[in-house]
A and B are shown apart, each in its own frame.
Chain A
Amino acid sequence: MDLILYRRSDLIHPPNIPPQGGKGKCIIRIVCIIASMTLLMLGCNPSSRTSGNAAEDQSIDADSTLQKDFWVAYTYPERRGKVLYEQYCSNCHGVEGGGDGLNAYTLDPRPRRLADSVFVSVLYDSLLSRSIAVGGRGIGRSVLMPAYTHTLKVEEISFIVDYIRTLSSKQP
């Protein structure tokens, strides 16, 4: 049923209303309106802005160079480990792990090159953290490496191990 508004003037001069198509057309029009409403409801989804990008934004690019943003290149444990490494380890093992710290040339045997990826890759995490904790004497090597178990907490040692892994994997 179409609703047609009549104005007084129309009654005197009736408007040119096109002939209606009958009851079938009426139903089709209603169905079309409801179908379009349905599609609109389905389409209007406010979360469709960036739903797919969540994982991408949060993922850490493992190949990022050090020139790239420091905050993206290193995870939280690696950042904490960097601070600790530079305070306790870099004087002998070098700031970039090259075994060339300020103190290194006075030591015999020389400190290990932690940037050497071949050497570090065969050391599993528990061995690295044990070396730091009990020192060289505890793993049967030079006494020049001190034992840090009474100085550093367990999680601090794990941060340092995480950072040492980056020394051999991230290229400057």
Chain B
Amino acid sequence: MISMERLYKIYVVTSLLFLIVLALSPLKHARTEWRRYQREYRKIQKQVSGREDSGPVGLQQIWVRDLGRIDRCITCHAGMTNDGMKDSPPPFRKHSYVYHDVEAFGCTVCHEGQGLATEYADVHLPSDSWERPVLPKEYTESTCGRCHVDEDLKETPNLNLGRKLVRDYKCFACHDEPGQYSTFTPILDGVGEKVVERGWIAAWLKDPKAVRAETKMPNFLLSDEERAVVADFLMGFKTFAGNTRLESLPRVYDVRKESGDFIDSGRTLFRESPCTSCHRLNEEGGRLSSDLAKIGSKATSVWIYSFIRNPQGLQPGVEMPQFGFSTEDAAAITAYFTSELLDWDASEETIAPDASPDLGERGRSVLHKYNCLGCHTLTEVEVNQNRGPEHTFIGSKRVYQIWYGETSIPHTLYDYIDSKLKTPRIFGGSMRMPLFNLTDEDRHAVTTYLLSLRDEELPHAWMRRKSAFPEFAPQGKFGEILQKYSCLKCHTIQGRGETVAPDLSLVGSRLRRDWAEQFLRSPISRRPLIEERMLKLFMAEDDIDTVVDYFYKILLDDSLTVPSGWRPAREAEERGRRLFWETTGCQGCHTVEGRGGYIGPPLDGAGDRLQPGWMLHWLIDPQKYIPETMEPRSGMSVEEALDVLAYLMRL
């Protein structure tokens, strides 16, 4: 037995040792990483401004009350709001200029990460207990989309690009996306009459981008057997939508289709219409529609002829406008296509035809499996929709809900989405999602957009939704004309349409009436640098009258007038000429009398083309009418603008 004395001694010694160990714990507390950063910051502060923060080193935090977030990022990133630290090394560098106040918004609402933590790994890196690490830079714009829902801001180009790509590549065909979309996909009714032979469909399904590089159709990685089934199944559809019949080729085609003159006239018509405004041909042309380089090997001559004569009949809803070609002109163009625009490198691969009796059943099952009818329309076939997971709130998906399969990618949401877009089928599961082959930039943009689709309640004052204006949808004759000639495929009117061609919302106050009428009859576009030019549509006379009437009665702005009583005078012209050439240097972008730059439209004949009221207000503030225009606002006064106007009216 040990005596009591011994016991006391042992007790004293062990207690002392225990207290020493206890004393080590505040030492550990005093050697944390963030204290090191704070001390270093004070050193740099002293270097930069000669003064430093007083008081003991401590945790700094931003408390965003509305969002209930506390962000301790500024403990280490201490120079975040210090102007003198613009060039300091990270993490002390001042935050780059952004529209939002760092101290009002905090950090994690934009950059994500664990705001309350103070160790580097806990804040920045993903871990089992925190699934929203700091977003990589390529995805930072996704958090802008949490508040700025559906807004195309100038400061978020990647988010805007992602939104546009999701619309263009038609993700909504299989996944639920927010917003409404309506874009055209070729209708498969009558495809058996359209395509020259089944081999084309089989080659297309093998790799669409190899046949036509700018197509939006992804690669479904079908097996040879599935391709054979689909090709044979589709070749059986020989009636077109609405029972439209193909127009038979005129005699002149059969007689002259081999003759060089006829083909030359077809080629000239093609170039002058100009079909290359929308279609591409061997690297030149517009990007609004498909590349026609191999069209002769794809479609039959009868189909090409009928389509040129009546696009909306064969493919209702297609964006190609109705041209007024005569039968001979259309036949010439067809001859040009079928003799020259052929696929000389077509592969000789053949797939064994599928002659099984249940071809219909098997065809329908393949179409169902890959949800082909999510994009394409095929009215004769009844196939249930087979959609994929919805995307409406994909940005809020939890990591535990994601199955990473056998892969070794990091377990974060953005890595999952990015890998899924890059190689959709590596995760296993139902192997249906096709391969899109996007560039890295496009893929990051789509991931950014998808990450912004969240299911969360932010305070009302923080959200910015675009106000829902009723969309411009004219009725009656004018609406029919817009539909027939596909005007809004290039032009914008009151917010609806595309930005390829000028905005027509104020055209009644902008262009002179006689010039506009003449232009619709025979468009001669003199802007030098553009690929997409106005089409020679051979519009009917009363169509032109309706359109011009509508422009000059409705699409006006009464404020676009010159001051009453102003008349152009000789001295004003002279001053204006000097302002134009010597003060503002407009000839850097505009061509006048053969000299000048090629960026803006040439200003010869400006007085005959544009109205004076428009020219005046445009000179004073171009960005008011076209916010993204390249013309810089010159800051000239109203008097100077009137002088330049006098000069321009004389050109």
Note whether A and B form a binding pair.
yes
Residues in chain A within 8 A of chain B (CB atoms): 1, 23, 26-27, 30-31, 34, 37-38, 41-42, 45-47, 49-51, 53-55, 57-60, 70-72, 75-77, 80, 83, 87-88, 91-92, 102-103, 106-107, 135-137, 142-151, 155, 158-159
Interface presence of B17 (CB below 8 A):
yes
**Which 4 A-B pairs rank lowest in CB-CB distance, beginning with the nearest?**
A143-B585, A144-B588, A150-B633, A76-B96
CB distance from A110 to the nearest CB of B (A): 12
Bitwise, B62-96 to A at CB < 8 A (1) or not (0) is 00000000000000100000000000011100001
Question: How far, in angstroms, from A150 to B633 measured CA to CA in the complex?
Answer: 6
The answer to whether A103 and B585 touch (CB under 8 A), given A45-B28, A77-B96, is no
The answer to whether A103 and B597 touch (CB under 8 A), given A55-B90, A147-B634, A150-B634, is yes
Known: A150-B633, A151-B633. 15 other contacts (CB 8 A): A26-B10, A30-B10, A42-B24, A42-B28, A47-B119, A47-B120, A60-B90, A103-B589, A106-B596, A106-B598, A107-B597, A137-B583, A143-B588, A144-B597, A148-B632
The answer to whether A71 and B137 touch (CB under 8 A), given A76-B96, A103-B598, is yes
Contact across chains for B13 and A27 when beta carbons are under 8 A apart: yes
Pick 16 A–B contacts, CB within 8 A, sort by A. A23-B6, A30-B14, A47-B33, A47-B119, A49-B121, A51-B119, A54-B76, A57-B124, A59-B89, A71-B137, A75-B96, A91-B630, A103-B599, A144-B588, A147-B635, A151-B632
Question: How far, in angstroms, from A46 to B598 measured CA to CA in the complex?
Answer: 63
- Majority SS at the chain A contact face: helix
How many chain B residues touch the partner (CB < 8 A)? 52
Contact across chains for A143 and B76 when beta carbons are under 8 A apart: no
Contact across chains for A55 and B96 when beta carbons are under 8 A apart: no
> Which residues of B102-121 are within 8 A (CB) of A?
119-121
Interface presence of B32 (CB below 8 A):
yes
Contact across chains for A71 and B18 when beta carbons are under 8 A apart: no
Q: Return the contact of A58 from the options B14, B17, B90, B599 (Cβ within 8 A).
A: B90
Contact across chains for A149 and B582 when beta carbons are under 8 A apart: no
Contacts of A70 in B (CB 8 A): 441
Contact across chains for A146 and B120 when beta carbons are under 8 A apart: no
Contacts of B633 in A (CB 8 A): 150-151
Residues in chain B within 8 A of chain A (CB atoms): 2, 6, 10, 13-14, 17-18, 20-21, 24-25, 28, 32-33, 76, 89-91, 96-98, 119-121, 124-125, 136-138, 155, 157, 441, 529, 582-585, 587-589, 591, 596-599, 623, 628, 630, 632-635
Q: Return the contact of B588 from the options A55, A92, A150 (Cβ within 8 A).
A: A92
Contact across chains for A38 and B24 when beta carbons are under 8 A apart: yes
The answer to whether A41 and B21 touch (CB under 8 A), given A103-B598, A146-B585, is yes
Contact across chains for B598 and A83 when beta carbons are under 8 A apart: no
Contacts of A76 in B (CB 8 A): 96, 98, 137
CB distance from B308 to the nearest CB of A (A): 33
Question: How far, in angstroms, from A91 to B104 measured CA to CA in the complex?
Answer: 39
Question: How far, in angstroms, from A78 to B13 measured CA to CA in the complex?
Answer: 64
Contacts of A71 in B (CB 8 A): 136-138
Contacts of B589 in A (CB 8 A): 103
Contact across chains for B125 and A50 when beta carbons are under 8 A apart: yes
The answer to whether A50 and B635 touch (CB under 8 A), given A37-B21, A38-B21, A103-B599, is no
Q: Return the contact of B120 from the options A54, A145, A158 (Cβ within 8 A).
A: A54
Question: How far, in angstroms, from A55 to B623 measured CA to CA in the complex?
Answer: 43
Contacts of B598 in A (CB 8 A): 102-103, 106
Question: How far, in angstroms, from A47 to B117 measured CA to CA in the complex?
Answer: 11
Contact across chains for A147 and B28 when beta carbons are under 8 A apart: no
Q: Return the contact of A34 from the options B21, B25, B137, B441 (Cβ within 8 A).
A: B21
Question: How far, in angstroms, from A103 to B633 measured CA to CA in the complex?
Answer: 19
Contact across chains for B119 and A46 when beta carbons are under 8 A apart: yes
Question: How far, in angstroms, from A88 to B633 measured CA to CA in the complex?
Answer: 12
Contact across chains for A147 and B121 when beta carbons are under 8 A apart: no
CB distance from A130 to the nearest CB of B (A): 15
CB distance from B29 to the nearest CB of A (A): 11
- Among A34, A55, A71, A106, the most chain B Cβ lie within 10 Å of the Cβ of A106
Contacts of A60 in B (CB 8 A): 90
Q: Which residue of B lies closest to A38 (CB)?
A: B21
Contact across chains for A83 and B635 when beta carbons are under 8 A apart: no
Contact across chains for A155 and B76 when beta carbons are under 8 A apart: no
Contact across chains for B33 and A23 when beta carbons are under 8 A apart: no
Contacts of A53 in B (CB 8 A): 120
Contacts of B441 in A (CB 8 A): 70
Contact across chains for A77 and B97 when beta carbons are under 8 A apart: yes
Contacts of B585 in A (CB 8 A): 135-137, 142-146
The answer to whether A147 and B632 touch (CB under 8 A), given A46-B119, A51-B33, A71-B136, is yes
Question: How far, in angstroms, from A51 to B138 measured CA to CA in the complex?
Answer: 24
Contact across chains for A59 and B630 when beta carbons are under 8 A apart: no
Q: Which residue of B lies closest to A144 (CB)?
A: B588
CB distance from B239 to the nearest CB of A (A): 49
Question: How far, in angstroms, from A87 to B157 measured CA to CA in the complex?
Answer: 12
Contacts of B10 in A (CB 8 A): 26-27, 30
Question: How far, in angstroms, from A75 to B582 measured CA to CA in the complex?
Answer: 38
Contacts of B120 in A (CB 8 A): 47, 50-51, 53-54
CB distance from B290 to the nearest CB of A (A): 27
Question: How far, in angstroms, from A152 to B628 measured CA to CA in the complex?
Answer: 11
Question: How far, in angstroms, from A98 to B138 measured CA to CA in the complex?
Answer: 28
Question: How far, in angstroms, from A148 to B137 measured CA to CA in the complex?
Answer: 29
